[in-house]
Amino acid sequence: MPQPQNTDLFTRIRALRDRDERRLRAGDTEVETLLLLAKVSEEAGESVEKYRRSRGWGTDGVTNASATDVSDEVCATIMAGLVALDRICPNASAHWERYLAYGYERAARENADVALES
């Protein structure tokens, strides 16, 4: 699959959002927003299901999903989340960067605290 050159993450996400909105054709912006948000949990559920199947749980021990299948579903979940964020947030890229920095700083503090305790 050809990759766009020098295209930032949210330019790509907007292309995915355009496709998803075109496919929805709900005719109601609130319903479309709700559907894009619901897509995140749908994809997350598929990730869990693929992982379960990759472990052979509930399949009489038969594994019928690979680590790649699980990883692909996790990526689909992340993409759905970023599409939904782009839909509801006027500057999704800045919001994502701010929240990612917050998460990183929090993890760094907690990791440092654990290191001090050991």
| pLDDT per residue as tens digits for the range 68-79 | 999 999 999 999
Q: Is residue 110 part of a domain?
A: no
Q: Is residue 106 part of a domain?
A: no
Q: How confident is the model at residue 110 (pLDDT cuts 50, 70, 90)?
A: very high
pTM metric for this prediction: 0.86
* Helical residues (DSSP H) of the chain, grouped into ranges: 9-24, 29-55, 67-88, 92-117
* Alpha carbon distance 5, 85 (integer Å): 23
Q: Is residue 108 part of a domain?
A: no
* Per-residue model confidence as pLDDT tens digits over 22-40: 999 878 899 999 999 999 9
Q: Is residue 112 part of a domain?
A: no
Mean pLDDT of 81-94: 97
Q: Is residue 46 part of a domain?
A: yes
pLDDT at 25: 86
Q: Is residue 104 part of a domain?
A: no
Q: Is residue 118 part of a domain?
A: no
Q: Is residue 58 part of a domain?
A: yes
Q: Which domain holds residue 43?
A: 9-90
* Domains in the chain, number: 1
Question: Which residues touch 43 (CB under 8 Å, ≥6 apart)?
Answer: 73, 76, 77, 79, 80
